Amino acid sequence: MKLRAGDHVVIISGKDKGKTGTVLRVLPEKQRIVVSDANMRTKHIKAQANRRGEIIRYEAAIHMSNVMLVDPKSKKRSRVGYKIDEKGRKLRVAKKSGSAVTVSAKPAAADGAKKAKGEKTEKKKETSKPDAPKKTPFWGRVGFGSDALEEADEKAKAATKNVDKTVPEQGRSTESFSHSRGS
C-alpha cells in the first residue's frame, strides 16, 4: 500500500470530491482507507435501559483509487513512487516534485485529533512512578500468613501506646456481667 495513516490526501471522486484530509486508518485487505471529515455517515443508536439513545457521526471507508496523495512541496495531488536512498532504505516519493513523503504524526483518535510528539512523551513521564508501593500478595491483604500476623501485632501495639488510660471509658461499667438470656 502506498498510503499510510497520517498521510495528507485529496479525494478525487465521489460525493466529497475536492476535500482534503488526513488518513486515519488503512484497511489493506479491502483496499480502503478512512479519511478525516470525509464520507461522513450517521448511525442512530436506540435507547436501552442503561443508556440513552444517540446519533453518532463517523467517517466511513473510501476505496484507495478515489484518493491521491497531496505533494508536500507543491501542495497538489500526486502519485506515489519509491526510491532507494544511499543507505539502502526504501523511501516514498511524490512523482511530481520528487520530494520524499514523510508521515508527520499518526492520528490517535478516530475523530482526527492530532497529538504532538511532545505531549506523548510528557504523558509517559507522568505515568511512570519509580517509587510505587510494593504490592502485597492476596493472602497478605486478606490477613493470612505470618507477615499479616506480624503486621497485625505491630498495629495492636501502636494502638495501645496512644490510649490514655487515666480517664475510664464512658458508658461501660467496670462490673462484669453475663450476656446470656434470662440471667
Cell reading at 45: 443508536
pLDDT of residue 158: 73
Would you call 158 helix, strand, or coil by DSSP?
helix
pLDDT of residue 122: 45
Q: What residues of the chain score a pLDDT lower than 50?
A: 109-125
Show me where the domains of the chain are located: 8-44+56-117, 135-162
Indicate the fold that domain 8-44+56-117 takes in CATH: SH3 type barrels. (2.30.30)
pLDDT of residue 152: 72
CA dihedral 74, 80, 84, 88 (to 10 degrees): 100
What are the E-state strand segments in the chain?
8-11, 20-27, 32-35, 40-45, 54-59, 61-63, 67-70, 77-78, 80-84, 90-94
* Cα distance between the two ends of the chain: 90
pLDDT of residue 1: 78
pLDDT of residue 81: 92
Would you call 128 helix, strand, or coil by DSSP?
coil
Cell reading at 32: 480502503
